[in-house]
Amino acid sequence: MARPRKPLLSRDRIVEAAGELVDAEGLEAVSTRRLAAALGVSGPSLYNHFRTKDAILEAVADAVSARVDLSMFDGVDGPSDWRPALHAWAHSYRAALADHPNIVPVLARGPGRRPAGLRLADAVFGAMTAAGWPPAQATRIGALMRYFILGSAVASFAQGFVDDETAYDPADYPHLGQAHLLADRRHEVDEGAFETGLTALLDGLTLQYEALRPEPPRP
């Protein structure tokens, strides 16, 4: 066959298959030939729909961003709204990344020109300024939340340790006696740390917010 009457491929089909391959086997497993084979097509065909392999991965990443709920920012317009919105958003964001951890390194490169990534950045910034944060602070909040959430997805703590008791010699690492157990409890550990960190972050931001708009002095 040369050209079929109905196109065999579409951008959507390619992105879907690429996403499945990334989820199942990781970023390194995605080659144009492997992906094409999964779609029943030859390697170079993909280049009729995307300029590069990287553009395909960007599209996969953006599809993940698109699943992050932003609706909690809609009603934000005062001092009492921003905290719960940020909390709910952070959890939605993290959940989306946890569903597709292998693509996170691509997301970490930034929104660039990816529409869903940009919508996300726009929504946070808009909501924080609406809540009364000065623009420079709103930018910082968007940035630091990004650090924490992406960091939690890309730099899992528990998963970073090896499930091998002998790897952690007490003579070298006196406090890592239990570290080999982390791998087993990794969801528990990483989720606990995420919630603890998120709460600390929001508590700390609340202090800064209150310092920004001081209570009227009591008589």
Partner DNA sequence: ACCTGAACACCGTTCAAGT
Query: What is the binding site for DNA (CB under 7 A)?
Result: 1-4, 7-9, 30-34, 36, 41-45, 47-49, 52-54
Position 112 contacts a second copy (CB under 8 A): yes
Answer whether 152's CB lies under 8 Å from 194's CB.
yes
- Cα–Cα distance for residue pair 36/55, rounded to 1 Å: 15
**Which of residues 48 and 199 has its CB atom nearest to DNA in the complex?**
48
Please pick, from the candidates 147, 165, 187, 210, the single residue that binds a second copy as defined by CB under 8 A: 147
Position 29 contacts a second copy (CB under 8 A): no
Q: Is the dihedral of CA 194, 154, 26, 176 positive or negative?
A: negative
Position 3 contacts a second copy (CB under 8 A): no
**Which of residues 57 and 141 has its CB atom nearest to DNA in the complex?**
57
Q: Residues 158-177: x/- map of binding to a second copy (CB under 8 A)?
A: xxxxx----xx---xxxxx-
Position 102 contacts a second copy (CB under 8 A): no
Taking Cα atoms as reference points, which of 42, 89, 69, 57 lies closest to residue 201? 89
Answer whether 45's CB lies under 8 Å from 17's CB.
no
What is the Cβ-side half-sphere exposure of residue 61, based on CA atoms within 13 angstroms?
24
**Residue type, position 208, single letter:** Q
Position 87 contacts a second copy (CB under 8 A): no
Crossing angle, helix 115-130 and helix 135-154, to 10 degrees? 130
Which parts of 174-203 interact with a second copy (CB under 8 A)? 174-176, 179, 182, 189-190, 192-194, 196-197, 199-203
* Structure tokens given for 77: 């317009």
Q: Which does 41 bind (CB under 5 to 8 A by kind): DNA, a second copy, none?
A: DNA
Position 10 contacts a second copy (CB under 8 A): no
Helix (H, G, I), strand (E, B) or coil at 80: coil
Q: Which does 61 bind (CB under 5 to 8 A by kind): a second copy, DNA, none?
A: none
- Cα dihedral: 40, 50, 110, 85 (round 10): -70
* Structure tokens given for 157: 């703590």
**Residue type, position 70, single letter:** L
Interacting residues toward a second copy by CB under 8 A: 105, 107-113, 115, 117-119, 121-122, 125-126, 129, 136-137, 139-144, 146-152, 154-162, 167-168, 172-176, 179, 182, 189-190, 192-194, 196-197, 199-205, 207-208
